[in-house]
Amino acid sequence: MGGDQLVEDLNLAPGERVGVTVSGGKDGLAAWLWLVDALGAARVVAFNHDKFGLVHPLAARNLDVAHEILGSKLVRVADGTMLPRFRANIEAFFKHPDPAMVRVSLCAGCRFGISGRLFAAGASEGITKFVNAASYLEIAPFKAALMKGKGGGCERIGLLTGLKENPAYDHGDNLRIIDIDDRHDQKRQLAGGKCSSLYPGVSFLDFDRYFPNVPNDRETLVADRLDWRRPRRSWHFDCLVEEFKDVFYYGLIGYTETDYYLSAQTRHGLVGRVAAISSLLEARKVVIGGLDETLELMDRVGIGHLKDRMRKFYDNSPFLTSTVSADEPAR
């Protein structure tokens, strides 16, 4: 569709500003950069859901550097509730490991955080129009499929079943937050550039509807223009929870969101099959051989008392044990 169409769809009034949601990853920063180039720094405000204690240091650093280079306002919306909820939920998860509940439990509060919380912050700035770089390459339908499997074809029933199966999730306001998150499905919110009925006055446009997502090009762009950096472990590194999700998904079902990400790139002709398999095997090795790194991370986020459970999880997994080779072809 192109940049002209995005500007037309934003339909900004004279002096009106637009918000862009950013996490410190390449896609959000590419959108921020484009908007500043097209509209000027004064008309663009970046909003970040700052999950205190769970943000990767490089993601925080990337946001600070981009803010300095672009001269565009950055609003960090502090969320001090995510970390204590994550700590309680990961302890609950260990009591009944269930692949369908990985995202639900570990990420509780994030869906609302990256939309509702940021929209509220935007309202205080007089901003009702937002751009989000929700990459279609990162869609992982297996998560919904797992939940539908629990619910006889219905995600909502699957969610309620998963919560009933594990009473340990019933702590504080956790069930309420999980319910709120369930109503903040980003795919529905971005459809047609309008949010769900929860936010009828807010426009939420998907940057990837206007520009093709070529990860290597975007990475090169933000690295050159914004000195963007990333760690070796993962392409989705901005939140430390992602590392735990990789361990649990791979440990329980033998694949992760990386499988789908590389498959999507292959389908779109962005990477060859051989290169994709090579990248996938490397990602598997990082998870399989990453127990010590994971245990260190557990100390960092305040769940060191659960390290024996993580060791047991590795020992009991048919995919994480040393007898399983990471060099097997992709399935």
Question: Domains of the chain (ranges plus CATH)?
Answer: 3-231 (3.40.50.620)
Check residue 230 and give its pLDDT: 87
Average pLDDT, the chain: 90
Check residue 277 and give its pLDDT: 94
CA angle 59, 326, 86 (to 5 degrees): 40
Confirm if 149 and 158 have CB atoms less than 8 A apart. yes
Q: What is the pTM of this model?
A: 0.89
Tell me: pLDDT of 179 over 80: yes
Tell me: pLDDT of 228 over 90: yes
137 pLDDT band, cuts 50/70/90, is confident
pLDDT > 90: percent of the chain: 75
Confirm if 234 and 243 have CB atoms less than 8 A apart. yes
Check residue 99 and give its pLDDT: 97
Check residue 36 and give its pLDDT: 98
Query: Which residues neighbour 164 within 8 Å (Cβ) at sequence distance 6 or greater?
Result: none
What residues form DSSP beta bridges with 132? Answer: 21, 206
Query: Which residues neighbour 234 within 8 Å (Cβ) at sequence distance 6 or greater?
Result: 242, 243, 246, 258, 283, 286
C-beta atoms surrounding 86 within 10 Å:
26
More confident: 268 or 98: 98
Check residue 329 and give its pLDDT: 44
Sign of the torsion angle spanned by Cα atoms 86, 169, 156, 319:
positive
Question: Mean per-residue pLDDT for 232-241?
Answer: 77
Question: Mean per-residue pLDDT for 264-272?
Answer: 90
Question: Mean per-residue pLDDT for 214-227?
Answer: 93
Tell me: pLDDT of 330 over 50: no
Q: Which tens digits make up the pLDDT trace of 3-19?
A: 999 999 999 999 999 99
Tell me: pLDDT of 193 over 60: no
Please list, residue by residue across 185-205, b when 16 or more beta carbons sit within 10 angstroms of its beta carbon and e when fewer do: ebeebbeebbbbeebeebbbb
Question: Mean per-residue pLDDT for 233-261?
Answer: 89
Give the separation between CA 228 and CA 244, rounded to whole angstroms. 24
Question: Mean per-residue pLDDT for 107-121?
Answer: 90
